[in-house]
């Protein structure tokens, strides 16, 4: 569910926008952060990624909590609405001229597919155990590898295909075919991951020519009215008890995206992506405390296989880009730089 991204020397680093940097200063003492970032950038990047994972776990908890009183389509609308509200200060300062682009059709396509991914992901959180839904969301890099080979005509060699197949074996373990663990929720979660990987490939293409802030702002500018259309068919006015969760969803989602962006501005994707899987640990803890859910052993085993496969793919992708001649070969250089919605 958005998201997006030069500070040399890394090709796949994602720059943090000035507005993002200002917002992040309230989270960590600036002097300490600046000194530590200069001396130990990978360590600081890991901290930002863990912070982002925590914020995204809180975001998912807010979405799950709202599912009892609000349809997933309406929740998606409020998620986009608050994302737009938090981007308005930057848009006000930068002016509409900052959004000038010749690639509007791709922005629109990305927003439509991103909205489908968001609605599927939100629906999956309401349909299946909390930690299980988060674990399946980690399959997005697996779909992205296949998508890069099919749509971007990237050469994917045996090792990466093998890792992708192993990752999907982890999905099968989580799905528990033939038992009560196999459900429509799993299929919907996989659809969210597949469409999310498609938006990642589009983001990868956009950031080659478009500013990071434009990519993020266009997303919320387009997805907010688009998400209102399906929400109107299931609309119910939020109850008073729902508003803290709605506001929490907006705050945690925005802070998560800012922290995610900052992490990628300090280190290579392959270095920071393993820390994203702390989201599963946060999710398991939140699921136990708020929803009285305990992940099954099959969920943990399947999640470990998926995460290991995704990390291996990220490492192989980093090695491929380092060995590729200039200009870099086509491929999802920024596929992992697309955070959860």
CB 67 within 8 A of CB 126: yes
Q: Is the peptide bond before 327 cis (omega within 30 degrees of 0)?
A: yes
Instruction: Assign 3-state DSSP to the chain and report helix, strand, coil percentages, each to 5.
Output: 75, 0, 25
Q: Is the confidence at residue 331, as pLDDT, over 80?
A: no
pLDDT of residue 160: 82
List C-alpha distances in Å: 87 to 203, 214, 238, 284. 18, 10, 23, 31
Rounded Cα distance, 312 and 108, in Å: 32
Could you report the per-residue pLDDT of 215-260, keeping only the tens digit for each?
A: 777 888 899 999 999 999 999 999 999 999 999 998 898 788 778 8
Q: Is the confidence at residue 16, as pLDDT, over 70?
A: no
Q: Determine which of 36-50, 60-74, 258-272, 319-333 has the lowest per-residue pLDDT on average.
A: 319-333
Q: How far is CA 74 from the centre of its chain?
A: 20
The DSSP secondary-structure symbol of 98 reads G
Say what percent of the chain tops pLDDT 90: 27
pLDDT of residue 231: 95
Q: Which residue has the higher pLDDT, 181 or 99?
A: 99
Exposed/middle/buried for residue 228 (C-beta within 10 Å: 0-12, 13-18, 19+): middle
Tokens of 329: 């070969």
Could you report the per-residue pLDDT of 101-152, keeping only the tens digit for each?
A: 888 899 999 999 999 999 999 999 999 889 889 999 888 888 888 877 777 6
CA angle 323, 324, 326 (to 5 degrees): 130
List C-alpha distances in Å: 80 to 32, 139, 210, 222. 33, 23, 21, 9
Backbone angles phi and psi of 148, in degrees to 5? -65, -35
Sequence spans of domains, the chain:
18-337
Count CB neighbours of 340 within 10 A.
29
Q: Is the confidence at residue 182, as pLDDT, over 70?
A: no
The position carrying tokens 């299980």 is 132
Rounded Cα distance, 123 and 125, in Å: 5
Query: How does residue 18 score in pLDDT terms, banded at 50, 70 and 90?
Result: low
pTM of this prediction? 0.77
Tokens of 100: 């000038």
pLDDT of residue 2: 43
Query: How does residue 6 score in pLDDT terms, banded at 50, 70 and 90?
Result: very low
The DSSP secondary-structure symbol of 2 reads -
- Residues present in the chain in total: 341
Q: What is the mean pLDDT of the chain?
A: 79
The DSSP secondary-structure symbol of 134 reads H
Could you report the per-residue pLDDT of 193-224, keeping only the tens digit for each?
A: 999 888 878 877 787 787 767 777 788 889 99
Rounded Cα distance, 129 and 166, in Å: 23
Tokens of 45: 């990047």
Tokens of 151: 């749509």
Rounded Cα distance, 257 and 2, in Å: 8
């Amino acid at each position: 569910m958005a998201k997006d991204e030069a500070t040399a020397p890394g090709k796949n680093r994602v720059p943090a926008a000035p507005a993002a940097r200002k917002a992040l200063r309230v989270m960590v003492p600036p002097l300490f952060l600046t000194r530590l970032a200069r001396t130990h950038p990978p360590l600081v990047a890991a901290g930002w990624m863990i912070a982002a994972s925590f914020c995204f776990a809180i975001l998912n908890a807010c979405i799950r909590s709202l599912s009892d009183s609000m349809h997933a389509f309406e929740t998606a609308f409020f998620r986009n609405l608050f994302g737009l509200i938090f981007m308005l200060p930057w848009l006000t300062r930068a002016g509409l001229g900052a959004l000038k682009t010749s690639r509007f059709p791709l922005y629109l396509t990305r927003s439509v597919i991103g909205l489908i991914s968001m609605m599927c992901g939100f629906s999956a959180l309401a349909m299946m155990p909390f930690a299980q839904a988060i674990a399946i969301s980690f399959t997005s890099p697996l779909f992205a590898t296949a998508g890069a080979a099919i749509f971007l005509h990237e050469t994917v060699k045996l090792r990466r295909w093998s890792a992708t197949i192993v990752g999907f074996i982890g999905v099968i373990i989580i799905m528990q075919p033939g038992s009560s663990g196999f459900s429509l929720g799993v299929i919907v979660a996989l659809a969210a991951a597949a469409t999310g990987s498609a938006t990642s490939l589009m983001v990868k293409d956009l950031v080659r020519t478009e500013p990071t802030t434009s990519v993020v702002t266009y997303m919320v500018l387009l997805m907010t009215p688009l998400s209102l259309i399906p929400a109107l068919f299931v609309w119910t006015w939020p109850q008073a008890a729902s508003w803290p969760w709605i506001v929490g969803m907006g705050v945690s989602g925005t802070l998560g995206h800012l922290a995610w962006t900052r992490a990628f501005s300090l280190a290579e994707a392959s270095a920071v992506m393993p820390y994203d899987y702390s989201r599963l640990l946060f999710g398991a803890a939140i699921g136990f405390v708020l929803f009285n859910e305990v992940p099954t052993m099959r969920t943990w085993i399947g999640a470990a296989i998926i995460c290991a496969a995704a990390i291996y793919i990220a490492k192989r992708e980093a090695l491929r880009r380092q060995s590729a001649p200039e200009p870099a070969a086509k491929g999802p250089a920024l596929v992992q730089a697309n955070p959860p919605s």
